[in-house]
Structure 1
Amino acid sequence: MLSASDNAILTQVGPDKPMGKLMRQFWIPVCLSSELTADAEPLRIMLLGEKLIAFRDTAGKVGVMDHRCPHRCASMYFGRNEQGGVRCVYHGWKFDVEGNCIDMPNVPPEQDFKHRVKARAFKVLERSGMVWAYMGPRDTPPEFPNIDALQIPAAERSIFVHQRDCNWLQSAEGDIDTSHFGFLHIGSLEADDVDPDSMHKWGIIGRAPEYSVKETPWGTMYAAYRAADEGERYYRFAHFLFPFITFTPNGDFDDLIACTINVPMDDEHTMSYRVAWNKRTMPLQNLKSGEPIPGLAPESDFLPRTHDWYGRWRLAANVDNDYFIDRDAQRTISFTGIQGIGRQDQAVIESMGAVVDRTFEHLAASDRMIMVTRRRLLQAARALDANNETPAIVDDPDAYRGARGGSFLASDKLDWVAAYEQKLGEAVRMPAQPEPQSV
């Protein structure tokens, strides 16, 4: 059971909160690069509890700044994005992507003081098809994290984005909870239903695995493992990476290059980015007959976009329509009656409430990864808040290379960490893929 005070530390992300301060030490995804067009209207962004705008200027550079004009606090969302900057429609003051005031047209030239006025703007770069901002205190931001999934060439990369009406930690903990897969997603399957040559059948045969968990330089990792054929174990590895990235185990370890980024919009809303290598294998998609596994086909219909702070990437299946649950399908072919892995996840984590009351929980051995990850986050947030101690990973971006999610078979004579390191050395890796960036 987690105390109410610890739960507050873990879930509150404002600039004056311990977790909010911790997250601001890292590069934070703002939006997809494709959402911004040169000289087009600004985009409203809610990020870590702050109301911002993002825009692309005439030259293609991106700006991310507080939505309030430094003059009289009118919203720059209504601004004119034109000729190298965004101009406030209230009095015409204009700001470039770095927040510099470059025009003050309602003030006589001899009284102009634009060189002393600056909008609160953030350092920005574009990587992996996304805009990233550094919202922390350093004059020079840390290096960008060296994560395989964030080095995928554009032609081989897929990104799925959707908003979740819940706290970021609920979203992240759903990713690192392995035992729910055998119930929520494939609870209706039996081992005889799938390809007998697939190693993933062992996840159906044994729905209550053993667990090993450890802290790592990048955060935490676990192995869920079951006995397989004689002399072998079936492993599923997953990771939590600071500040809110997860690697899930749902794929072959050799080529599963993917991550999920659970970006807090505020304490009660999360923007989830799933970045993946589209050339990887896709296990457990079909029954041995070749027919699709009932309930797993992806579904990604979105509501029409609106211009409010929460108007982007909202799924059509949501709490208001019970995620289109089909009770007949639940009784006959689908464990949940809800279509799609992502929608199934969304239904259960949003059903907990916007911010789950963790004092109500009764955790089990299957929740060890969640326990250790919470402890790691609390330690890091407190160390920064009390002693200004930054996690070492902030300044060691290559340490992320030690993390890899996925499943494999290994000898039962090997220790779980030794089995992992052996497979890590054999896995496909992404070379660095430098992309155009603006800072």
Structure 2
Amino acid sequence: MTPQANAQNPSNSEMMTRVGPGTVMGELMRRYWLPALASSELKADGDPVRLLLLGERLIAFRDSSGRVGVMDQRCPHRCASLFFGRNEHDGMRCVYHGWKFDVEGNCVEMPNVQNGEELKAKVKARAYKVTEQSGLVWVYLGAQDHVPPLPAMEAALIPEGEVNVRFVQRACNWLQALEGDIDTSHFGFLHAGHATADDFQDDHPMRHTVTNRAPEYHVADTPWGTSYGAYRQEEDGRMSWRVANFLFPFWTQAPNSDFLTNVGVRGWVPMDDEHTMVVMLSWKKSPGAYTGMPLKNGKPIPGFAPAVDYLPNTTDWYGRWRPQARAENDYEIDREAQRSNEIYTGIRMVFMQDQAVTESMGPITDHSFEHLVPSDQMVARTRRRVLRAALALRQEGVLPPGIADPEAMWGARSGSFHTAAGVPWQEAYSERLKEATRVR
């Protein structure tokens, strides 16, 4: 099959990538709980944090009693920023005129007004429902009188002491950032283009990604979103599978570990149309990504680094969780390592290799310039699924996946496994899921 020009309607692309109030995708995402920041980022009576979610400028703070408030950064009196407020005695006090608001947005003091005790009940800051789970502060930006349950994704249910929580900011639209996680054929190039099958132990689970860099695929709609199964025939006749998922509205599960123990998820949370906060949850009992497993020489795949190096956080709207390797320094690319084929990209970390290519597409990808091919089936299927759900909500009021049926998310699991030749992939998936180690 030859590449075909992507004739995607520009208006469809606009709908999928714009997330502000009143937009089609913004309405969809406001039906879900959003992972906003780590619980550890907020201290009782500590400094408020500027928070950018779906194009809305908010502040987050923890009050004297430990409760978290997330509200519009503007004081409802004269619109001065509550970021400069005093977090004191179970409330945020605006420094302009002393008005004070609790975590639910109630005005509890109006000290510059003679009859403030009478008037304060008539004023309310725009505050949102908040809860904490698995080391995260979750915020609901939709209608506050119709709040759904938290998502029943397995990784979002990991007990507090057993969860790893990480954040990385990415300077591009949420959709192109997310699509890097559901594009499996790039692994054998972007991350392991310098490797050969002989570099791996015979039973290394990543060996087949360089033995056959053009896998075949099955792609399907699922109750939680979309799934793919990429398959390759092993020399012993068995079929090697890498299964991954997209979960509404912006979650991915990567196939970078053994299916039976792989509990993890990434949320590609839009800050605005051109910035994304990647939220990563993983289970401490899971063994971790295959990319760190040693090769024949006892070392991990070249270019593998265990953690992102961050710039110091600042207090501006884009000041949290910024990687040190970034566009301004060409992601610290080592051209000599690239030329010598020590590292295919010359960029010394798997996650930052993804960061570089998705940010290089521009703040928002021009989809009309793309030429999609069969290896892009999962990307194309997911775009259609997301757009259909967003339009069904807008035009017919149909609730998107995971809202009316939150337990549907529990069935999503990613990872790699083997089957005998000829076993249907979704049948094999269901059987492996019964055998898997679960968090509950």
The TM-score with structure 2 as length reference comes to 0.96
Matched AA of 2:271: M
Q: Distance in 2 between matches of 1:182 and 1:420?
A: 23
2:253 to 247, 253, 277: 247
Answer with 7-16 or 290-299: which moved more: 290-299
1:315 to 2:323 alignment? yes
1:14 matched residue in structure 2: 20
Q: Which residues in structure 2 correspond to 1:13-412 (within 5 Å)?
A: 13-109=19-115, 112-282=118-288, 283-285=290-292, 286-332=294-340, 333-412=342-421
Describe the shift of the 1:112–1:225 C-alpha distance in structure 2 as closer, same or farther (beyond 3 A): same
Measure how far apart 1:200 and its partner are. Answer: 2.7
- Supply the AA of the counterpart residue of 2:203: D
Distance apart, 1:210 and its partner CA: 0.5
Other structure's SS at 2:372 match: coil
**Equivalent-residue separation in structure 1 for 2:78 and 2:55 (angstroms):** 21
Deviates more, 1:154-163 or 1:169-178: 154-163
Tell me, in whole angstroms, the C-alpha distance in 2 between the residues paired with 1:182 and 1:279: 27
Amino acid at match of 2:208: W
Q: Secondary structure at the match of 1:294?
A: coil
Question: What letter is aligned with 2:330?
Answer: D
Q: Write the deviation string for residues 161-213 of structure 1: whole angstroms up to 9, x where unpaired.
A: 11000000011100100000111001111111011122331222111000111
Q: CA deviation at 1:154?
A: 2.7
Contact 2:110 2:116 (8 Å CA) reproduced: no
- Judging changes above 3 Å, is the alpha-carbon distance between structure 1 residues 392 and 327 closer, same or farther for their aligned structure 2 residues? closer
Quick one: distance in 2 between partners of 1:141 and 1:48? 17
Within 2, Cα distance between the matches of 1:138 and 1:242? 20
Distance in 1, Cα, partners of 2:418 & 2:350: 24
The answer as to whether partners of 2:129 and 2:144 remain within 8 angstroms in 1 is no
Check 1:10–1:84 CA distance in 2 against 1; reply closer, same or farther (3 A cut): same
Query: Once the two structures are aligned, what percentage of the paired residues are identical?
Result: 54
CA RMSD for the aligned pairs? Answer: 1.2
In structure 1, C-alpha distance between the alignment counterparts of 2:111 and 2:397, rounded to whole Å? 42
Query: Could you tell me how far apart the structure 2 residues matched to 1:316 and 1:327 are?
Result: 18
Name structure 2 gaps, 5 residues minimum. 1-5
Q: Deviations over 1:67-94 (max 9, x none)?
A: 0001111100000000010000000000
Shift of 1:109: 3.0
CA 1:111/1:87 → structure 2, altered by over 3 Å: closer, same or farther?
Answer: closer
- 1:143 and 1:395 in contact (8 A); partners too: no
Distance 2:431 2:248 in 1: 24
Post-superposition offset of 1:110: 6.8
TM superposition score normalised by structure 1: 0.96
Query: 2: distance between equivalents of 1:308 and 1:420?
Result: 45
Q: Which residue of 2 aligns with 1:434?
A: none
Greater Cα offset, 225-234 or 53-62: 225-234
Match of 1:424 in 2: 433
Distance (Å, rounded) in 1 between the aligned partners of 2:174 and 2:301 = 29
Query: Per-residue displacement from partner, 1:256-288 (whole Å, max 9, x unpaired)?
Result: 100000000000000001111123224242211
CA distance in 2, matches of 1:291, 1:235: 25
Instruction: Report the equivalent of 2:3.
Output: none
Secondary structure of the 1:113 match is helix
CA 1:110–1:204: 2 relative to 1, 3 Å: closer
Q: 1:309 to 1:199 in 2, by over 3 A?
A: closer
- CA distance in 2 between counterparts of 1:226 and 1:188 reads 20
CA contact (8 A) 1:299 1:343 kept: no
Cα distance in 2 between the residues matched to 1:403 and 1:69: 42
CA gap 1:187/1:110 in 2 versus in 1, 3 angstroms: closer
**How many residues align structurally?**
431
**SS of aligned partner of 1:272:** strand
The CA deviation at 1:392 is: 4.2
Instruction: State the distance in 2 between where 1:313 and 1:411 align.
Output: 44
Superimposed CA distance per residue, residues 357-383 of structure 1 (whole angstroms, 9 cap, x where no aligned partner): 010000010000000100011101111
Residue 340 of structure 1: how far off its partner (Å): 0.6
Query: Could you tell me whether the CA contact under 8 Å between 2:313 and 2:319 is conserved in 1?
Result: yes
Q: Which residue of 2 aligns with 1:436?
A: none
Structure 2 SS opposite 1:386: helix
| Corresponding letter in the other structure for 2:337 | A
**CA offset digits 1:213-266 (Å, max 9, x no partner):** 111111100100010133311100110000100001111111110000000000
Aligned to 1:437: none
Query: Shift of residue 153 of structure 1?
Result: 2.4
